A and B are shown apart, each in its own frame.
Chain A
Amino acid sequence: MKDSHPFPPWIDRARPLVGAVLAVVPAYLIALVYYGGSPRTTDVGYEPVQPVAYSHALHAGELGIDCRYCHTNVETSAHALVPPTQTCLNCHTQIAAQSAKILPLKESVASGLPIAWVRVHDLPDYVYFDHSAHVSRGVGCVSCHGRVDRMERVRQVERLSMGWCLECHRNPEPHLRPQAFITRMDWTPGDDASLGAKIRKQNNINPSTDCSTCHR
């Protein structure tokens, strides 16, 4: 046995490099998983193409149609209700009735087949979110959906992660507004810093952070 040293001599020179790799790679991997897997990266900004080129910016923004004209049950049921085709045709038999963009609506009514809208705000199946519990008690549409009145195509702007939900459940006051402005996208609380606390007291809002509130 000539040499009891198991490693070649150049290994000594590479030692600092190995040290650097051992220090950087785990940090890089952790950062990669943390940011790459975060809903901020994977979900925010999701903007699928819809089968009908419906513009919320035009209808809700420019024309100022209230959200509840189409999403009728948002205050009374768990689902906000994506409108039936018939709702679109309430107006579009008169307005822009000949437009090519309206064609899928006419086809849907004629065939009785639904329009396959792509879900933008998609919560996992084990989450039981209820619109009515939020909308009827002072949480405005804009808090979760962002400025839909400025979107040509609806885009996810919030993370909709559990941590994000809990931020508000732990401290709901900044997100509360008077019931009259519930669908107003441009409403701001103004100078009244205590408004949130007032609404919270008035509506007796004590959001639960228990697991079974959302998971059953």
Chain B
Amino acid sequence: MPSLEPEQAKPSSQRGDRPSQSPGMLEGGPAGGEQPARPAYWRSLAELANAPEFRALAEAEFPAAEDPTGVSRRRWLQLMGASLVLAGASGCRWKKDEILPLTAQPPNRLPGQFQRFATAREMAGSAIGLWVTSVDGRPIKIEGNPKHPGSLGATDAWSQASILELYDPDRCQWIVDRTGPEAMTQTWARFAEWIRPQLAELAKAGGAGLAILSEASSSPTLLGLRERLRKRFPQAAWFDYEPISRDNECEGSRLAFGQVVRTHLALDKARVVVCLDADLLGDHPAWVRYARDFSKGRDPAAGPMNRLYVVEPCFTITGSVADHRLPLRCGEIAWFAKALHAAVCEKGDARGVGSQTKESGASPLAELEKTSPALAVAQAIAKDLKANGPNTAVVAGPRQPPEVHALVHEINAALGNVGTSVWYTADPDPDRPPHVEAMKALCERMSAGKVRMLVILGGNPVYDAPADLPFADALDKVPARIHLSLYDNETSRRCTWVLPRSHYLESWGDARAWDGTYSVVQPLIAPLYDTRTPIELLALLDGQADADPRELVRERFQQIAGADWESRWDAAVESGLLGDSAWPRTTPKLARQTPASDPGPLPDGTDGPWEVIFCSDASVYDGRFANNGWLQEMPDPMTKLTWDNALLLSPASAASLGIGHGAVVKLTLGGREALLPAFLMPGLAPRTAAVALGYGRTAAGKVGGDVESGSPVVGVNVYPLRTTQAMGFASGAALAATGATYPLATTQDHSAIDVVGMRARGRRVGDLVREFTWDEYREKSKHDPHFARHAQHLPPLESLWQEFSYEGRRWGMTIDLSKCIGCSACVVACQAENNVPVVGKDRVLRGREMHWLRVDRYYRGDAANPRAAHQVILCQQCENAPCEQVCPVAATVHTREGLNDMVYNRCVGTRYCSNNCPYKVRRFNFFNYRKDLEDPENEVRKMVLNPEVTVRSRGVMEKCTFCVQRIQAAKIDAKNRRAPIPDGAIQTACQQVCPTQAIVFGDLNHKDEQGRPSLVAQLRQADRAYEILAELNVKPRTSYLAVVRNPNPEVENLAFKPT
């Protein structure tokens, strides 16, 4: 019986003998032939079973070679010959180039010089502070604002990719007026003229008939304007709607405290964290900050490690970094919360619950385990919580019903966490009805014909409103439908007026961080099109046409900042935030005291009804980023799926229905149906189907799908299955295989490292990720200061080549796998910094994604409940680089500082280097992925490119260079100032974005004035450091720090098998 913690990292001497596990359906590999060793770490179920589809990917360097279909060899030679002649004729001198200086140079701006401004990005009512790099007046790169409490210098993938959204040619560019028989483009002046008499008419009735539907927003200016509008139109109705809301948390706090409060966590103080279906490090509005705080407790050398328990139905990245993860069905989480509550709130030690365990033997948990293993786990966790007193935190996720949240508040209160690792602030808008209720009320009003004018600020309710509300039909009954939108989306197309909305990088505004910190939204560029912000539109509704948005924000700021506001404004604009503006903490009193009661037996999930879980998506969130190629192509942190959503199923449950990976499944839920491809994923709760929202957009744009213009739809829309009663998860679904299959572009098996025989691979891959428990770490580090490196025995390594010696700088990197949560922000940051192209689903299926940096996600142990580890892989900058030795044209060469340079203009595309790269980090341009930029309508898309990095063309190999452009810029700057480069002054793009600071880059030879080595040099010599594939003697410059987990021995010993 596999345990909750399937196996321990084993010393290298034992690596050969794998424990014989029997993960059910996966037994038996391919027919015939020698059975390769079952890998300890595996990336997919196909790899675990050594299925032919995995071997096909692993064995070929370039799977699915491109045949120039339709062109014969002879014709191809003719064309090539002709183009060579033409190229020769035109190549004598490149075309005339012009220099266009400004007529007057603005102060503080130099051509080609990078500048940095603070701003903030708001999503779903919470802001993250940003620093945006601008060159020649155009923003090109987004970083986190180190002073902002929501960022601390890091960002998420959405912020990184929002720069692409700014330059998206599919954005709304004109006002579209559909009031007449034909759609016409209009001007703002014309719109103002049209709306003025309408508003005057509405004002006569006190605004009855006017309704405003807004995205969730924390903008003080917007809320101020809302009040102003309420004065002018007292009868008007205001609704807030977000498809993915945290209303259950609000309702839960109402149950527990009798008032709505917002929960905040100090994860740096919490020694034990329990997440009940809460993806704290994935979809929490403050996850970037939480990830940083959490990572502070993941460094075993820095002091006692924290411990994370995750109980969840699907496999989230929070679950992947947990010390103990328990897959439970979504509906069973409430049972677990009750059990935990009972165990925590019971006086005395945790054993008291349940009649069987009374003082019967030496190990009451083991006793309990026989009857109810899940209860045993709950009690063990409760014991751990109690032992750590007030430095713990229990969190429930937004999918869970209010009752679970209320129980969690009681648990935290009982543990004494409030005020230490958990604190509360008053909700900024406590009277706001829940989003679902607001939407219901709006639909009722519209259906009854009571709404004469509906103004929709952002959002896309036609697409994402609950399926049982007739929003789209009711909308048609409103005579005047106005949508302010970034894109001409599903909702816009049903409105009479579509107003183009300004991107946040081109607008003045303000927002509040999750903790309430006032953040200034500062424009980096004048609006590219004639667009307005929501606050400008609201001012217009208030009769203030052409209001200056900056003045609107300043006006509100004056009220917030009070005396001396003007100088504080300047400081706020410069730093991006107003200091000490976080909401004051409150200590609400518990309004109830639920008695600790026996939760009863865990409902048996094996025969229970199928549950469907609706998740936010790491790429497109709720669908709003559907037209963003960077995000669509970013592999999902857990499934590594690109360009699609899928129905995630556990292998055992899928097998019971005869559903295989990639099979198209008909999902029926409450009479509504959807066809979805199945994705078999280990670690899911039984009879649970998880599916991401936000796909299947029919009016997103050229990238995300647009039915009208013929762009293919990406993924499947599951909003039509989601009803007001079941916004988070639904029970009672029916699944049936249709017999069809669907290709899923998942990168989980791409770039499988080292394919020299499956047996050898199975042994070596175990060494790529090295994992220890905290106890092992303490024991081993005492005896061997390099124990992680020595976990693999290496024979004496000798080089065939004369080795370089590095006297000056020696660039190196370390990646702490213990801190890495796999969020994939680095993947998008690298793409933004290095002009990495998007290739599309078809190319990803062929293994040709261009990401220079990938995050390999490994599973380990039993397929029913594996552990996961993430490993960021980029060019390791080998000192004995195998790629350099095979390049016939010296297009990849070594620098004196040890970088492995890639010279694009020399490369002739033999791809030998990639063949010879053991890490599989080289990417080949099979096509000219920038060809579409020559299209005049894509002129705006060029603006996103980093001018410091060459844009590569077809037939050229490319790869990570440790952001050599940043290194060179720092070197030149330091030399001009005749000053040394201090340690930490150069940050690579992936390092800068990392929420957990897992990536450290620097000069391995650096010593400061006191003779202290650089941080990266210290980490490379740390006890946890090791290099991957060191046996090849390639001497990589990138080191990894081994994963160290802090399991609870008591839970470890429990044999819990998810039912």
Contact = CB atoms under 8 A, between A and B. Distances in A.
Nearest to B94: A122
B110 A81 contact: yes
B901 interface: yes
Contact of B976 (A42, A76, A119): A76
A79 B109 CA distance: 12
B92 interface: yes
Contact of B112 (A77, A112, A125): A77
B965 interface: yes
A42 B92 contact: yes
Interface in B968-1000: 968, 972, 975-976
Contacts of B99: 82, 116-119
B108 to A, nearest CB: 12
A180 B869 CA distance: 59
B905 interface: yes
B944 to A, nearest CB: 17
B84 interface: no
A114 B97 contact: no
Contact of A109 (B103, B105, B901, B964): B103
B96 A210 contact: no
Interface in B931-967: 948-950, 961, 964-965, 967
A102 to B, nearest CB: 14
B942 to A, nearest CB: 13
Nearest to B890: A211
Contacts of B563: none
Given A122-B94, A212-B968, A85 B976 contact: no
A194 interface: no
B22 interface: no
Interface residues of B, number: 38
A124 B94 contact: yes
Interface stretch (A1-9, A17-25, A128-136): A128-136
A64 interface: no
Interface string A154-171: 000000000000000000
A130 B975 CA distance: 12
4 A-B pairs with least C-beta separation: A210-B895, A114-B100, A119-B97, A211-B901
Given A84-B105, A116-B98, A119-B98, A126 B905 contact: yes
B976 A116 contact: no
A137 interface: yes
B91 to A, nearest CB: 8
A55 interface: no
B101 A114 contact: yes
B105 to A, nearest CB: 4
A216 B102 contact: no
Given A81-B111, A118-B97, A132 B103 contact: no
B896 A210 contact: yes
B110 A73 contact: yes
B949 A216 contact: yes
Given A79-B110, A122-B94, A132-B972, A84 B101 contact: yes
Contacts of B103: 84-86, 108-109, 112-114
A43 B111 contact: no
A78 B968 CA distance: 12
A216 B964 contact: yes
B93 A46 contact: yes
Nearest to A116: B98
A59 B97 CA distance: 24
Contacts, number: 121
A109 B112 CA distance: 22
A210 B877 CA distance: 15
A74 to B, nearest CB: 11
Given A114-B102, A215-B901, 15 more contacts: A78-B113, A79-B112, A81-B101, A81-B110, A85-B102, A86-B104, A113-B103, A114-B100, A116-B98, A122-B97, A132-B976, A208-B896, A210-B895, A212-B968, A216-B961
Nearest to A75: B976
A48 interface: yes
B123 interface: no
Interface residues of A, number: 46
20 contacts: A37-B91, A43-B93, A48-B96, A77-B110, A77-B112, A79-B110, A81-B101, A81-B110, A86-B105, A87-B105, A109-B103, A112-B103, A114-B100, A115-B101, A119-B97, A124-B94, A125-B950, A130-B972, A212-B895, A212-B964
A213 interface: yes
B950 A42 contact: no
B96 A78 contact: no
B903 interface: yes
A118 to B, nearest CB: 6
A24 B672 CA distance: 83
Given A116-B100, A122-B94, A216-B950, A210 B903 contact: no
Contacts of A137: 975-976
A189 interface: no
Contacts of B972: 78, 130, 132-133
A93 B986 CA distance: 46
A128 B965 CA distance: 9
A89 B895 CA distance: 47
B893 interface: yes
Interface string A197-216: 00000001000101111011
Nearest to B950: A126
B897 interface: yes
Contacts of A174: none
A115 B972 CA distance: 31
Interface in B10-48: none
